[in-house]
Amino acid sequence: MKERNNSGVGRVNRREFIKSAGAGLVATQVGAAPGAKTAAAATASSARFVPGGGLTRISPNLYWLRDTCNVYVLKDGDRALLIDFGSGHVLKLLGQIGVTRVDAILHTHHHRDQCQGDARAVAQHIPIHVPAHERYLFEDAENFWRNRRVFHLYNVRNDFFTLTRNVPVAGVLRDYETFRWGPYEFLIYPTPGHTLGSISLVGQVDGKKVAFSGDLIHSPGKVVNLYELQYQYGSTDGVDFAIFSLSKLRELGPELVCPSHGEPMPGPATGMTELMGKLRGWYEAYSPGASLTVENKPFAVTPHLICAHQTTSTFYALISDSGKALFLDYGSASGNFFTCFNAAAATVKDRMRFVEHTIPELKARYGLKSVDIVMPSHMHDDHLNGFPYLVRHYGPKVWCYENMVDVLQNPRGYNLGCILAEPIKVDRSFRHGERFKWEEFEFTVCHSPGHTEYQMAMFADIDGARVAFTGDAFFPSGSGSSVVLRHNVIFRNWLESDSHVKSIRTILEHQPTLVAPGHGKPFLSNKEDMEDLKRRLDDQQEYFRNVIADRDCNFGLNPSWVRFYPYQLLAKAGSSPALELRVRNYRSKPMQLEAALVLPVGWKAAPEILRMTIAPRADAADRFTVTIPEDWDRGKPRVPFAADVMADGQYLGEIAEGVVDLQFEA
């Protein structure tokens, strides 16, 4: 550019440059279009460019505008549905094709070039629908920016391409659900890669199966850039996602792919395959030996027991002679699909995203006809993050060990490691030692604490093997004769000094011949290895007692012995919700406990002081009522609180806390 010459000629040069690039610079007072007055008001503070070209007709009811991204216009009479929005310039062109009203905008992902003009749509009351997984990057963009880390940057995901202002969201596009508009139906298909939350919209348009694919593919064999495909420092994580998404989208057999950059691609399969090949080539050259999610395959441990061990946690499908399946765990498609949502998606409102896996192979190769029951070995998200999807799309019943019921159904209640945010309704629960029959198999369920308090061990005779499903009670390392069973300690998971020992004792008592762990492949049970682990766990118990100052050492192991329920309270401004204080007394004598709530200014608690007597080695609970001011500041939607605590005359201070997420009337 010729910017160096700035003696008043610079401005002309710049304008000429813009013209030559096919665009014109205009202020936003573009009075001609209906509603443009308010649109101008919303963006009046700055100048904007406009795209040079006009609408191109792809098929009778489908049009395309090259803006900051491709904007697709789907027509139904005088109404339109827009896929992505770019600068919003499209609104001024719709009259040319007889459109008088835009019913909705659907976004494929949150990048600014897709939605930078959304304020114009809001000013015209056009509803904006966004991918569920990226909702917060639209309506809570400003909060994202307040929290996005820049120093010590290892989460290199390009969420920096997020809007600078909040945009109100009218609807969310949930993975695998259908969006209906007029005579059209679009499958909302998860295609992570270019962003973690990207979707494609797949449906029939003018007699063709069309996929609006965002920036998954630019043109045959090409992506718009590679930097969006790296979330974690130095990794190829997004490349793995893109290959998986391309493969799944190709299976749907679109006849036309409409990308956000580049041009609509008829007969896209070859170009998608070409791109997958190139991405795979780079992935394999850069990370030799690493496996791709798309290649994960289950295998038969015994004729009826199928195992998928390359998924984030190992999951088991026990398939009966009738073709019904009991799933034990069902987590993410791969370790990569799990860690990206922990390591690269790091804001308060980020959530796990689930994509379907393994079920097509179970149907094709192992006779799966229906998913009848799903059971979690424990309540960790890496083991049950596919449950909500299974329940919605395959309709299984959810069964679990009794102490997991409330954690699954009310995840906001707890502050424990690895909780899935989405509630899961439980249909049946089991007590310690309870037996049950399902199809031709019999099971025994036992409590198996340690890794987490909320874990079971389950035993069953399957094809002549006595199988122990052990969740994360231990992890085999090494192979052959040199297997060492390792365990882990996570204090936030509710740990007591004898938890692990209880667990290994129960497993040993049941004398399994085959162990089916929550990570890694099943292995033949070896009593000596387990005895060896038990010795180390006995030592651990002794170590805890030695190192912790309080002689009831569980006070030094469990950060939640005094805790609030729920931990994350959801409440309306102006309401008076209850907050329960729960206490476990690890002493061998009764405990006298007093607690006072520490609240924001203007909030009230009753009673002022809660007094509880907790029996020896027992639990107790009592409640406060909190009154939240009606006119609470909308700019403070998440508010922490604490309990100031005295126990047996000792002032412990504010040792318990929680948060309130405020809901406001619209």
What is the contact surface with Zn ion in residues (CB under 5 A)? 111, 215, 313, 380, 382, 472, 518
- Indicate the residue among 259 and 518 with the shorter CB distance to Zn ion: 518
As a whole number of angstroms, the distance between CA 286 and CA 290 comes to: 9
The least distance separating Zn ion from the CB of residue 246, rounded to whole angstroms, comes to 16
Would you tell me how many other CB atoms lie within 10 Å of the CB of residue 435? 10
- Strand order of the sheet with strand 435-438? 435-438, 441-447, 456-462, 465-471, 514-517, 523-524
CB of 131 vs Zn ion, minimal distance in Å: 12
Question: Whose Cβ is closer to Zn ion: residue 140's or residue 215's?
Answer: 215
Nearer to Zn ion, 39 or 257 (CB): 257
Judged by beta carbon, residue 372 or residue 382, the one nearer Zn ion is 382
CB of 397 to Zn ion, least distance (A): 23
Tokens of 498: 């004898």
Of 540 and 585, the one with the shorter C-beta distance to Zn ion is 540
636 touches 662 (CB < 8 A): yes
Q: What value, to the nearest 5°, has the Cα angle with vertex 380 and ends 137 and 638?
A: 40
Least gap, CB of 457 to Zn ion (angstroms): 13
Residue 195: strand, helix, or coil: coil
Least distance (Å) from Zn ion to the CB of residue 156?
A: 16
Minimum distance from residue 114 beta carbon to Zn ion (Å): 6
User: What is the nearest approach in angstroms of Zn ion to the Cβ of residue 321?
Assistant: 30
Residue identified by tokens 């004792």 is 505
Q: Which is nearer to Zn ion, 193 or 271 (CB)?
A: 193
Closer Cβ to Zn ion, 33 or 468, answer by number: 468
CA distance 555 to 549: 9
Of residues 470 and 558, the one with the C-beta less far from Zn ion: 470
If residue 610 lies in a helix (H) or strand (E), which one and from where to where?
strand 610-614
Helix residue ranges per DSSP H, 161-268: 237-251
According to DSSP, residue 222 is labeled B
Q: What is the closest distance, in whole angstroms, from the C-beta atom of residue 381 to Zn ion in the complex?
A: 9
The C-alpha atoms of residue 435 and residue 460 are separated, in whole angstroms, by 10
358 within 8 A of 364, measured Cβ to Cβ:
no
CA angle 185–92–211, rounded 5-degree value: 25
How far apart are the C-alpha atoms of 110 and 320, rounded to whole Å?
44
